[in-house]
Amino acid sequence: MRKLHFNYKDVFTACRIGFSAKKMWIMFLGLLIGGILYTLFGYLAYLSAGFSFTEIWRDYRLCPGLPYGFPVYSYILWAVGIFLFLIAVLTSGTAVSKVAYEQLRGEEFFEIKESYKYAFKNFRSYVFSPLLILLFIIVIIVSGLILGLLTKIPYVGELILALLSIPAFAASLFIVYLGIIFLFTLILAPAIVGITKNDIFDTLFEVFSITNEQPWRMVVYSCLLKVLSGIGMIVLGAFTILATRLGISVLNLVVRGKMEDILTNASYFIQLAPVNFLPPFLKILHQGILNLFGIGYLATPGFFFTPPNVTIGIAAVVLAIVFYCLLLFVLSYGWAIWFSGQTLIYTVLVKKKDDRNLLEVKEEEEEEIKTEKVKEEVKSEEAPETGKTEAT
């Protein structure tokens, strides 16, 4: 079992714990599947709003931005894409949290298959917990709108408005509180489920408990973790770009002309422009980072030039796919740091508020694990015997 300080110092170990081929591969798969689903529904949203495929590709490539001035059904399609992306990320995040938790307890060989099996088994806990909070918020807002209709009654409506002003303020304040709970649930649910196997209501109870008892530690630790995950992605991105340039330089010694044609056409398929709803200073920072690494041109990629032959065109497409995989490789490290760090943060906060060390292996848990293994072995032994009996 790993020894922790049970304070802010443990957050810094997230970069080391997150730098794991196992955790990064789990997040790579989650980001890949989530990205494909988001791209599919994003394109459907824009196509349903009257945009052509060419226009969407020209402006966004594989990541359609936030719609603006679209019909309601287009927003619904785009929201479905966001929702499916979040589910894919939360599922992989729960699997990463489970692997990180087992690693902290001393189990270094917890399998990827077992982590995903665990995440799918507890799917409802980390998906429906934030949805339940969101449902409460919607119910309160709808109730307020219904009561607001009473104020339209002539003469009496003004009195009702005056009498409901204080309850309306209390309801608005409660909505703000639930909004904070919703955000904390999205952040903490994968770690809580990955550690405790809680159901929906137990997960929400833990989120409410941390929000009420350890709010500042939660905020400060999460902000620190976000900075660390960003630094980790920048550092890994820098090394990835240097390695890529080194490989291209070596290949240029042999196939200079062909390599330039392939790279030029491959860059056409890649666009790393920031999403359109970011504030201006973040867009400037995003462009500055790309310029620092010498890939600023990917924010506004050029045109596709007709290659000398078909194989160069195919090679450009393959190389573009490789570049997207490298991008997901870098992003997967940042997300692995994030979910591993949230596992550490939740462990620290439980120690602070309940004086309970979640890393201590309980005898009951060990017995449950042994019992499950015995059941699986018995089933695997009975299956061949059943087959032989049926054949006889």
Question: CA triplet 76, 81, 86: central angle to 5 degrees?
Answer: 120
Read off the pTM. 0.85
The CA R_g of the chain, rounded to the nearest whole Å, is 26
Please give the biggest Cα pair distance in the chain: 87
Which residue bears the tokens 């392939």? 262
Do 89 and 331 touch, CB atoms closer than 8 A?
no
Residue 40 pLDDT: 95
State the DSSP code for 218: H
pLDDT for 256: 66
E runs forming strands in the chain? none
Q: Is 303 helix (H, G, I), strand (E, B) or coil?
A: coil
CA angle 338–340–342, rounded 5-degree value: 70
The two three-digit tokens of residue 372, written as one number: 């499950």
Q: Crossing angle of helices 53-60/21-48, nearest 10°?
A: 140
Please report the pLDDT score of residue 228 as a whole number: 96
The amino acid at 134: L
Dist CA 357 CA 370 (whole Å)? 22
pLDDT computed for residue 363 by the predictor: 45
pLDDT of 313: 80
Q: CA triplet 260, 264, 269: central angle to 5 degrees?
A: 145
DSSP, collapsed to helix, strand or coil, labels residue 294 as coil
Note down pLDDT in tens along the chain; length 392 residues.
678 888 989 999 999 999 999 999 999 999 999 999 999 999 999 999 989 988 888 888 888 887 888 899 999 999 999 999 999 999 999 999 999 999 998 888 889 999 999 999 999 999 999 999 999 999 999 988 888 787 787 777 778 778 888 888 898 999 999 999 999 999 999 999 999 888 899 999 999 999 999 999 999 999 999 999 999 999 998 899 888 888 878 877 777 667 777 777 777 787 776 666 666 777 777 777 777 766 666 666 665 556 666 787 888 888 889 889 999 999 999 999 999 999 999 999 999 988 888 888 554 455 555 566 566 666 666 655 555 555 54
* Cα(131)–Cα(181) distance, integer angstroms: 11
User: Would you state the pLDDT for residue 165?
Assistant: 82
